[in-house]
Amino acid sequence: MSVTCPAILIAAPASNQGKTTITAALARLHANLGRKVRVFKAGPDYLDPMIHEQASRNPVESLDLWMVGPERCRELLFSAAQQSDLIIIECGMGLYDGTPSSADLAREFGVPVLAVIDARSMAQTFGALAYGLANYQQDLPFAGVLANRVGSANHNQMLESSLPEGMRYFGGIPRDERMQLPSRHLGLVQASEVEELEQMLEQGAAVLEEAGITSLPEPVSFAAPEQRWRCEKRLEGVRIALACDAAFSFIYPANRRCLEAMGAELIEFSPLADTELPEVDALWLPGGYPELHLETLGANGTMLRSVRDFCASGKPVLAECGGMLYLTRTLGCEDTTAEMCGVLDTDARLEKRLQGLGLQYIDWPEGRVRGHTFHHSSMDDQSLSRWQQAVRQKNGQPGEWFYQQQGVRASYLHLYFESAPEAIGRFFSAD
């Protein structure tokens, strides 16, 4: 069984080419035309999907052949195709970056690639770059190329004329600072923090419409998965406290779905605003930007004590990246340092350079769980006996450090729960 739906994969030769802006603008344009648009992000990401969710007015999922798995990706696309008028997939980094890459994803599901190239300070080399993206691997479904940040009508004509014969030119998008999304050390600023985001999305949609980029891409046939994702109702009656506010917001929709499918009740709370944890059986501290809220987090002494006491109870506690930083003694960013929960006998600080990046996995006693890491902070005293280098890169090489004590498990790894629902269920149920 299969179902067809127009689909396109927005790619680029590298990061910072404008593909997130183009993806969001395209999603808003078609949503404004009354079409149901589903956007997916290739590879692990939290920030771009927040933008795309607001642009498309629909949930955004991650697709990754290693972290999510081919069959689960197939199931997500098949389900979306059954109820959508358009599927847009945004590439992560460059088209061929990573193993597997976004190009591998396009080939796996037959989704044509639209290459977005930042054309600033570029003339005929634009055509050479477009040719390379289209032909580096011969079996890649390639729709054409779009020039971004074009300087003038003459510049646009020069770019189009540089393309090899037969390659489709989708047009040139002029430079417009109003379409520029703000960013910080982990990527784009969260959608909730972007002032006038709605105006930016509408502006982007109008620019694409003016450029004539309004037609739907070619339909793609999406096959039904051979095996559907399933999980046992292992967490019936289990209440899990989930930190969810401006400091802790890196949460895959799939992770919520996984816990709820197993019967768990997620109770959201705010380490910034609430004074204590709700009455629960387990605690989940996801990643986010705690370093941007040091004074508020550090001043909320009753919440710090509540989390510290819960961690001492032996009940399940999962702390991912920013959630782990919240459990340290202190966290520093630039000239500010604040006391945190003090559960982990170590201090953390934000560094100027990237400290960790990549897809990794960890072998828990309950099973192997896959995820990714991306952080600018570092920690002291990781030689303590409670720290293990149990996390592995997907090639088997040593990855991030992992902390385990009583019920607390903490690392820089952002886990993808649906990669191992049985292991996640056993952990949160304290089996």
Closest CA to 98 of 128, 134, 66, 68: 66
Say whether 91 is catalytic.
no
DSSP letters spanning 202-264 = HHHHHHHHHTT--S---EEEEEPPSS------TTTT-EEEEE-SSSEEE--HHHHHHHHHTT-
Which DSSP string do the residues of 398-426 spell out, in sequence order?
B---EEEETTEEEES-EE-GGG-HHHHHH
Q: Which two tokens stand for residue 265?
A: 């009740």
The span from the CA of 244 to the CA of 238, in Å, is 18
**Going along 321-415, which residue ranges are E strands?**
330-333, 336-339, 347-350, 356-364, 367-375, 377-379, 387-388, 391-393, 402-405, 408-411, 414-415
What are the structure tokens assigned to 176, written together?
């417009």
In the set 5, 244, 321, 341, the catalytic residue is: 321
Q: What is the DSSP letter of 33?
A: T
Q: Which two tokens stand for residue 183?
A: 């960013």
Locate tokens 């993206």: which residue?
133
Q: Which residues are catalytic?
A: 321
